[in-house]
Chain A
Amino acid sequence: MRLISHLKFCRILLVLIICSGQVVSAQDTPDWNKANLKDSVITLLLKYQDLHNKLNIHADPIVERDFTRLFSNPKVQVISYLEGNSKLVKISIEEYIIRLAELYPDGFTAGIDPFRISIDLPRYDRNNRYIIRARVNIKYSGISKGVVFTTSQRILLQIAFLLTNNTPGNFAVYGIDLPAKGQDFMALSLNPALTGFRNSTISKDERLSLRMGNSFHAGISYSHYFGNHLGIGTGIRYSRYSGSVGLDKIDPLGSFNPNFNEVTVQNDLWFAEIPLFISWRSNPGRRWGAQADIGLSGGIRMYENMATSATNANTGITMLNVISDADWISQMNRVDIGFIGTLSATCRINNYARILIGAGYRQGLSGLDNNTRADYVYSKYQGQYNPLWGAPGKTVNQALLLNIGVLVLLNKEVN
């Protein structure tokens, strides 16, 4: 029954993964050849780079004129890095040329990374004119008043073109701006895990031992990034914590010895968890990046199972369900609070999807049990109950996670 419920859950996750890919809406008409459009945009940008790098105080007016002609008109507003990142302003391209010559008499070079250019599908503007949004990584550098200035930025260009006889032409820059910083992501993650329970009293006991078990977590989360690096997120997680307590042998009760050796008390707890976390990301490369989430996670226990086994000292047979503990569930808290953190590498598949591969850790902070058995010290080796939920001190859960998932950008704006 439990297996069926796991399979259903996995199937739904799979459907969600498939559905999440449908974030790009189709454009009906015209039928754009995106590769050709991208080639035209790259050609325009390489011209921009070439002419921009010839601008200086001694530049030929023809160069300035040709550079201006790359834009729809001389009044086109562009973001200016000429006075440093802290003084970003939008000025006309006409003014930009003048300011560049004043501040950087020897020139201000622009280096475009042609491999990190992405474009959207065109949208209709007016009079057969269409606008494409292109995102480009540009590195600017120059010397102003004896000080070297270098900056790398991802910028958003609006590029206008005319559609004549179904052929795009007359490409020109219509604006240069900063891309929207805020981004929203949905992450679907599957987490094979090594889980267990910790209790300081049991840890110190020479006859009792705590063992971790293989388990499985999965979740869906939503993150909002305020800028290039920091964001916040939440989600919902399905988590199973498995772990066992081992005991060398059961002691006699009175004069009655059950002859049970190598006793194992297996505990499995299923939780629905809601994490609240701070996200950090970095995308230094075109394809690879890193992401870290750290925060708190509240869980509600949905289901629990306890199974015991032991070896009969006389027969050598392994016996199941050797301990009767009808009260173990009532010893436990329904709600659990813990710390959760993950660190993952991200690999970009396309503008909207990335694969996540990494590791994570969850450590319970609140106690899973709410009572201590009064006779624990006297009866802890006699198998009268599950020792995990009877030992003094907090029993908490923990999990080492392998994080495998898909990260989907929910915004249309890609930066």
Chain B
Amino acid sequence: MIGRRSFFRGVLVIGIVMLLGACMKFDTLPQLEIRVVDENGSVVSGAYVALFDSKIEWDNARNPVQVWRRTDQEGKVFFVDLQEMAYYVYARFDGKDNSFGGVNLSEPLRLNQKNKIEIEIR
């Protein structure tokens, strides 16, 4: 009988541990949602967007930190699993890009935050 009690106690303990494990909160890496608009403020869907970790790479539009993405119907693209840094953003569509203005984020991205920015292309 002692054995049976141990068994059921063991099952209970393991169940609780698993439940606690499932409830554990882990840090989420920074996320960045970019909305691309044109000079009229209209959303641009299908624009190509990439992130770079330096101005030199941005200038050459090569060696992005992640694969290139395209904006959806709402002109948005969503990057996840980023680092806590101020990335350089490049967006391009139909001969227009954002090279005329601010290209890097004003401040580094933060953990557990979904950061949102708007990029204008001309």
Are A23 and B65 closer than 8 Å at their CB atoms?
no
In-complex Cβ contact of B6 among A16, A303, A315 (8 A): A16
Asked if B22 CB lies within 8 Å of chain A CBs, one says yes
When distances are taken between beta carbons in the complex, the residues of chain A under 8 Å from B48 are 253-254, 256
B residues in contact with A315, CB < 8 Å:
63
**Distance between Cα atoms of A230 and B79 in the complex (Å):** 55
Contacts of B7 in A (CB 8 A): 20, 186, 220, 222, 410
A250 interfacial by beta-carbon distance below 8 Å: yes
Is there contact, CB below 8 Å, between B17 and A9? yes
A188 to B2, CA, bound (A): 16
A377 at the binding interface (Cβ < 8 Å) = no
Stretch at the interface among A159-167, A200-208, A289-297, A320-328: A320-328
Quote the shortest CB–CB distance from A158 to chain B (angstroms). 22
The count of A-to-B residue pairs whose CB atoms sit within 8 angstroms is: 118
Contact of B17 with A12 in the complex, beta carbons under 8 Å? yes
- Least Cβ–Cβ distance between B9 and chain A, in angstroms: 8
Tell whether, in the assembled complex, residue B70 and residue A253 are in contact, meaning their CB atoms are under 8 Å apart.
yes
Residues on B with C-beta less than 8 A from A272 are: 18, 22
- The answer to whether A256 and B68 touch across the interface, beta carbons within 8 angstroms, is yes
Which listed residue, B17, B50, B69, touches A8 by the CB 8 Å rule?
A: B17
Contact with B along A375-412 (1 / 0, CB 8 A): 00000001110000000000000000000000011110
Please tell me if A178 contacts chain B, counting CB pairs below 8 Å: no
Interface hits, A290-345 → B, CB 8 Å: 302-303, 308, 312, 314-315, 319, 321-326
Does B66 sit within 8 A of A, measured CB to CB?
A: yes
Q: Are A186 and B65 in contact (CB under 8 A)?
A: no
Question: What is the CB-to-nearest-CB distance from B58 to chain A, in angstroms, rounded to a whole number?
Answer: 13
**What are the interface flags for A231-273 relative to B under an 8 Å C-beta threshold, 1 for contact and 0 otherwise?**
0000110100000000000101110111110000000001010
Do residues A22 and B6 form an inter-chain contact, with CB atoms below 8 A? Answer: yes
- The contact of A382 among B11, B29, B67, by CB within 8 Å, is B67
Tell me, in angstroms, the Cα distance from A258 to B90 when the chains sit together.
13
| Interchain CB contact under 8 A, B14 and A302 | no
In the bound assembly, the distance between CA atoms of A257 and B60 in angstroms comes to 12
**A25: Cβ under 8 A from any B Cβ:** yes
Contact flags A327-366 to B (C-beta < 8 A → 1, else 0): 0000000000000000000000000000000000000000
In the complex formed, the residue of B with least CB distance to A24 is B2
**Taking the complex as formed, is A1 at the interface, i.e. its CB lies under 8 A from any CB of chain B?**
yes
Which residues does chain A contribute within 8 Å of B4, judged by CB atoms? 184, 410
Task: Spell out A's residues near B (CB within 8 Å).
Answer: 1-2, 5, 8-9, 12-13, 16, 19-20, 22-23, 25, 184, 186, 188, 220, 222, 235-236, 238, 250, 252-254, 256-260, 270, 272, 302-303, 308, 312, 314-315, 319, 321-326, 382-384, 408-411
Sampled A-B contacts (12; CB under 8 Å): A5-B21, A8-B17, A22-B6, A184-B3, A186-B10, A188-B10, A220-B7, A252-B68, A253-B48, A256-B68, A323-B67, A324-B81
A-B contacts besides A12-B17, A272-B18, 19 pairs, CB < 8 Å: A12-B13, A12-B14, A16-B10, A20-B3, A22-B2, A23-B3, A23-B6, A25-B2, A184-B4, A236-B14, A253-B69, A253-B70, A254-B68, A254-B70, A256-B48, A257-B62, A324-B69, A324-B81, A326-B31
Residues of chain B at the chain A interface (Cβ within 8 Å): 2-4, 6-7, 9-11, 13-15, 17-18, 20-22, 24, 26, 29, 31, 48, 50, 61-70, 78-82
